[in-house]
Amino acid sequence: MKLIEFIKLILKHKVALFVIPLLAGILAILLTSNPKHSYYSKTNLFTGLATGSSVEMDKSFNYFATNIAFDNLINIINSRETHEEVAIRLLAQHLMLKEPDNKFISDKTFELLKEDMPKDIYKYVAKSNIPDTTDLSLEIDDVVNTLPESINKADYEQTVSNLMKLMKKDNTNFVYSLLNFEHPYYSLEAISKIKAVRISNSDLIELSYETEDPGVCQQTLAIFNEVCIKKYKNLKENGSDAVIKYFESQLLQSENKLKTIEDQLLKFNQDNSIINYYEQSKAVANVKEDMDVEYNKKRAELAGYEASAKKLEKKLEIQELVQDKSNRVLENKKRLGELNYELAILETKTNDSKKTADIEKLKNQAAKLQEEIKTGVAQLYSFQNSVEGVPSSKVLPEWVDKIVEAENIKAKLDVMSKRNLEFQQQYAKYAPAGAILKKIERQINVAEQEYLEILHGLNLAKLKFQDTQLSSNLKAVDPPYFPLKPIPSKRKIVIIAIVILSFILVLASILIMEFFDNTLKNITVANEKLKIPALGMLAKVFKTNETIDLLGIQDRLMELIMQNLNHVLKTQKASGTTKIITIFSTQKEEGKTIIANNIARKLIHAGKSVVVLNHSTIVKPKINSDKSPKLNLLLGYQDPRIDYDHPFLDEPNNYLESSCMATYEVNGAFFNAKSYKDLTLSEPNVSLKEPDYVIIELPNILDTNYPADLIVASDLVLLVCRSNRLWSKADENLLNNIKELSPSKLQYIINGVAIDEVESLLGELPKKRSIARRKIKNLLRFQFHLKNHI
């Protein structure tokens, strides 16, 4: 769309673009004539979440954790439970007031409250004769007093508790309905209008509220501060306290477990006579190892002595004479062995003084026996020599020594064998004890580590609890103030916005209708849709206020049509002297009859003989002149009524002779007609002998079949269509069939075109325009030197 076309469109609808927003503005003025005034108050809460103190000295700033903490706090503020408690506390405060107090509620609101509240709701209000002794000056957190002096704080808290229980009882009670419907002060919808936002990147959160009563506005924010501080503190501390209790219970369990295992270790040591298992086992192992070495050494010595004694005995040949002496020596030897055995046992088992005398006695007996054996042996071998010729005095002492030493070693080996058995029993006792002791020690170690870890966790939880107590201490640094002036009304802005929005909506509607207008509209659009040459266009004949010379415009359009018609007919190779013009339309009431009669009138004025043939099925349209033009005129549009007094719509009898008009029957002859002479006429007095022009009007071809041969024989086939109609697929199919019959002779006239569209053929229309409008129009067209002569 060009700029000039947009300007024309705006000028066409200028009155609607002015009147509709004006009416919308007037309506907005009427609807906002009695506005409700609102009061605004705000308060600031210091959170300390970003820069507050902490018991953790090495705690670093975490941007994301801080943002999450602020989000949690704001979500607690915006939670339904918080809103419910605020609403209940506000309601309890108002119910307990005996008379209106502007600091808490205005007179008008108080009276409305009394009217809305049922009588049975007051039975939930607690009443006592005990005066309230609470010193409000000591309430550091309560910067704004939320209770009048006449209300006892204990009664107030009891009333709040009663109302909370009533609300949670079911969903049909009055309090539940009051909170969930649309009450201006107590509903959750009203309380949710409190806005909570973080002030920039600071530790402050701003709470703001807007309502119709200044006292309710201030008190709602004050109660909101109390509820938020209490809920946030309880939530933070309860979570940390639960963690501490968990660690304390786990620490007690771990301590009991560790004590049980330690008692088990003590009992095990007592049962097994263990003082220090590792030192004791090491000492036993060392003694056992030394004894094993000594035992093996003694066994080796015994084997040597026995071998030597056997060798010496073989070397000696004892005579029968010394047999008796030998037996005595052997008995003494046996007795000596027994004495040595007893002596070895006494020496290894005790150091008692009483036993020492026995040992000395046994040693004396042993020494005496040794002397007897030596004496007896000396007597036996005093006269004898060995087999190898060795004297007896040398062999016998050596043999006696070997025998004595062998018996001595045997006694020691017997004692050492018994000690080995004792060590084996000790080993059998210590071997499983070590594994069990190791297992118990591992259990103790695990239990100690568990205890220490839990103790560490408890210490961290206590530090966290202290840190939470510091961080959860919200404080109202800027208490809500009592608003004295209402918020300035936005009535003017609303009215202006409605006017502007109405203008935009009307303009958008106009542009959308223009954009989606799919009618034939003008020659440019019709050429794109019909794809056949245009013979011309005719404007819509409407009543004018003499600002437009519609008579001259229509006459000039007809002259252009006649000029084009003559040009087309001259270019055609005429088969005869009579020119046949066939006029048709796809639908009815397209204006064929009027156009055919006006073409005939122009031809007759040019001195031509013309016959107009109309079909017998023509139904004259009903003239409806009762259509009221008031709305159109109010909105600045053209009068929609048709000007039936216009010469263009004059009855054909006023300018055509009866011999120039005839009616034919739509019958079999019509469908098979090859020439206009084949048509069956209803007026027999009409002569069809070689006129200059024959104009044949066909019925609308969408409802009636057309004579194809007659169309082929025509010199000009003229399609008439209205500009305000849609071109459908059925119309296109019928037109394509006509194109196949007469492709070069087919043209169209678009009828009833808007007067502004005529400028595409006639140029700028002569209208009464102001000098300013003409200059603006030339400016938009960039025609600055239009009046300059060459």
Distance CA(440)–CA(58), nearest Å, equals 40
Averaged over 255-275, what is the pLDDT? 81
| Dist. CA 607–CA 640, nearest whole Å | 36
What is the pLDDT, as a whole number, of residue 769? Answer: 56
* pLDDT number for residue 136: 42
Q: Is residue 483 scored above 70 in pLDDT? A: yes
Q: Give the C-alpha separation, 94 to 400, whole Å.
A: 129
Under the banding of pLDDT at 50, 70 and 90, the label for residue 139 is: very low
Q: Residue 597 burial by CB count (10 A; 0-12/13-18/19+): exposed, middle or buried?
A: buried
Start-to-end CA distance of the chain, whole Å, equals: 32
766 contacts 549 by C-beta, under 8 angstroms: yes
Average pLDDT over residues 298-321: 67
Residues 376/325, Cβ–Cβ less than 8 Å: yes
Contacts of 620 (CB under 8 A, 6+ apart): none
Q: pLDDT digits over 348-407, tens only? A: 765 556 667 777 887 888 888 888 888 877 776 664 555 444 555 566 677 777 777 777
- Could you tell me which residues come within 8 angstroms of residue 567 by beta carbon, excluding any fewer than 6 positions away? none
542 secondary structure, DSSP code = B
pLDDT reading at 501 higher than 90? yes
Q: What angle do CA 267, 269, 273 make, to 5 degrees?
A: 120
What tokens appear for 327 in the block? 């037996």
The answer on pLDDT for 747 being more than 90 is yes
Among residues 122, 123, 98, which one has the least CA distance to residue 110?
98
**629 within 8 A of 640, measured Cβ to Cβ:** yes
- Whole-model pTM: value is 0.51
- From the list 664, 537, 691, the residue with the least C-alpha distance to 604 is 691
Residues 693-721 have a mean pLDDT of: 90
Confidence of residue 581 (pLDDT cuts 50, 70, 90): very high
Provide the pairing of β-strand 579-584 with 716-722: parallel
Share of the chain above pLDDT 70, in %: 79
pLDDT of residue 323: 61
Mean pLDDT of 24-39: 85
Residue 141 pLDDT > 50: no
Cβ partners under 8 Å of residue 395, min gap 6: 312, 315, 316, 381, 386
Q: Which residues pair with 753 in a beta bridge?
A: 539
∠ CA 333-334-339, rounded to 5°: 95
- Position 138 confidence tier, pLDDT thresholds 50, 70, 90: very low
- Would you state the pLDDT for residue 62? 67
Q: What average pLDDT does the segment 675-703 reach?
A: 79
* pLDDT digits 0-9 by tens, 557-579: 889 999 989 888 888 765 568 88
At residue 67, what are phi and psi to the nearest 5 degrees? -65, -40
Element (H or E) spanning 211, and its range? Answer: strand 204-211
pLDDT at 789: 46
Tell me the pLDDT tens digit for each residue of 96-131: 888 888 888 888 888 888 888 888 888 888 887 555
Position with higher pLDDT, 749 vs 360: 749
pLDDT score of 277 more than 70: no
Q: Please say whether the beta carbons of 362 and 344 come within 8 A.
A: no
Q: Which of 7-16, 163-172, 632-641, 756-765 has the highest mean pLDDT?
A: 163-172
**pLDDT tens digits for range 61-107:** 567 777 888 888 888 888 999 999 999 999 999 898 888 888 888 88
pLDDT of residue 417: 77
Residue 260 has pLDDT above 60, yes or no: yes
Q: What is the mean pLDDT of the chain?
A: 79
Least confident of 35-39, 249-253, 288-292: 288-292
Is residue 150 pLDDT above 80, yes or no?
A: no
Contact 612, 656 (CB under 8 A): yes
Per the CB < 8 A criterion, the answer to whether 716 and 693 are in contact is no
Are 480 and 41 spatial neighbours (Cβ–Cβ below 8 Å)?
A: yes
